[in-house]
Amino acid sequence: MNNRIGVIGCGWLGLPLAESLIDQGHRVNGTSTSEEKLALLKERGIVPFHISLSENGITGNIDGFLDSLNILIINIPPKLRGKGPKESYISKIELLHKAIKKSQVRKIIFASSTAVYGDAKGVITEQTEPKPNTESGIQLLQCEELLKNDSELQTTIIRFGGLIGPSRHPVTMLSGRENLSGGDAPINLIHLVDCIGIIKTIIEHQHFNDVLNAVYPAHPTKKEYYTKEALKRGIAAPQYTSPSGKTDKLITFCSPFLINKFKFLTTIN
């Protein structure tokens, strides 16, 4: 079945996702906050919409974007870390939710993060109670609850681990740093190819009303992994202090859907 799919946020993940969906025969509407990027979306076969969400309102033709969609993929990061002014992420999603309610869209895929688990220790699965301890994690969980608790919507939430892929890898920021703690902690990462694959598998099987942890099922220690990745790139490896002996979190999944229906295609190496 070919669908009419909307992707809010055609960035690092959203753009290649939209292209891959088009390759499968789906029709795709896509948004960008950059007017200059609209031509690129159109060139790639995406129906482009210049839409921007703020805590005070939605700029652009959101009703036109949502019109006739079977499935909506919400893929906009909170952007609550770092310096500079911050806007309420939950306020943006609440405004989007109101627009969705006025449309015929009922199937939602919401890109969330394993940040909702905060400082939980040990093995973390979808059955672990989220206890976020950052503003991003707190507001992501609020957005999850908003969508999940709306009985008129069928929402699948994907809690992605750390994202890696083209031009994006934590080792480039860690290179050359010294006296880092947590070297014996397991990594919890996922490659862009598998992020796209999981979303496409959800759509293929029409798997809605679920929560999924999207993390590659191999967890070497940070010291082992980032040392190897630095050597592969010819950059200085990060230096870690002695093992702490603490129990750190290892994020995995127990979802029968991921276990039975999805095969990871790209290793984290």
268 falls in which pLDDT band (50, 70, 90)?
confident
> Could you tell me which residues come within 8 angstroms of residue 224 by beta carbon, excluding any fewer than 6 positions away?
none
> Could you tell me which residues come within 8 angstroms of residue 126 by beta carbon, excluding any fewer than 6 positions away?
159, 211, 212, 213, 253, 254, 255
The per-residue pLDDT for 86 is 81
| Distance, CA of 93 to CA of 100 (rounded, Å) | 10
Domain parsing of the chain, residue ranges: 4-165+189-217+247-261
Asked if residue 146 lies in contact with residue 98, where contact means CB atoms within 8 angstroms, the answer is: no
Q: Tell me the sheet residues that pair with 160.
A: 113, 214
> Could you tell me which residues come within 8 angstroms of residue 76 by beta carbon, excluding any fewer than 6 positions away?
8, 9, 53, 92, 111
- The residue ranking higher by pLDDT, 1 or 232, is 232
The predicted-structure confidence for 121-146, as pLDDT tens digits, reads as follows: 999 999 999 999 999 999 999 999 99
The per-residue pLDDT for 242 is 78
Element (H, E) at 47: strand 47-50
The per-residue pLDDT for 2 is 87
Asked if residue 176 lies in contact with residue 218, where contact means CB atoms within 8 angstroms, the answer is: no
| Distance, CA of 79 to CA of 91 (rounded, Å) | 13
Burial of 236 (0-12, 13-18, 19+ CB in 10 A): middle
| Distance, CA of 257 to CA of 210 (rounded, Å) | 9
The per-residue pLDDT for 170 is 94
Asked if residue 140 lies in contact with residue 93, where contact means CB atoms within 8 angstroms, the answer is: no
Q: Tell me the sheet residues that pair with 157.
A: 110, 211
The predicted-structure confidence for 195-233, as pLDDT tens digits, reads as follows: 999 999 999 999 999 999 999 999 999 999 999 999 999
How far is CA 224 from each of CA 4, 87, 182, rounded to the nearest angstrom?
Answer: 44, 37, 11
The predicted-structure confidence for 228-264, as pLDDT tens digits, reads as follows: 999 999 999 999 997 766 778 999 999 999 999 999 9
Mean pLDDT of the chain: 95
Asked if residue 130 lies in contact with residue 117, where contact means CB atoms within 8 angstroms, the answer is: yes
The per-residue pLDDT for 247 is 75
The per-residue pLDDT for 83 is 63
The predicted-structure confidence for 106-125, as pLDDT tens digits, reads as follows: 999 999 999 999 999 999 99
CATH number of 4-165+189-217+247-261: 3.40.50.720
| Distance, CA of 146 to CA of 27 (rounded, Å) | 27
85 falls in which pLDDT band (50, 70, 90)?
low
Nearest in space to 205 (alpha carbons), one of 256, 133, 130, 160: 256
Asked if residue 115 lies in contact with residue 162, where contact means CB atoms within 8 angstroms, the answer is: no
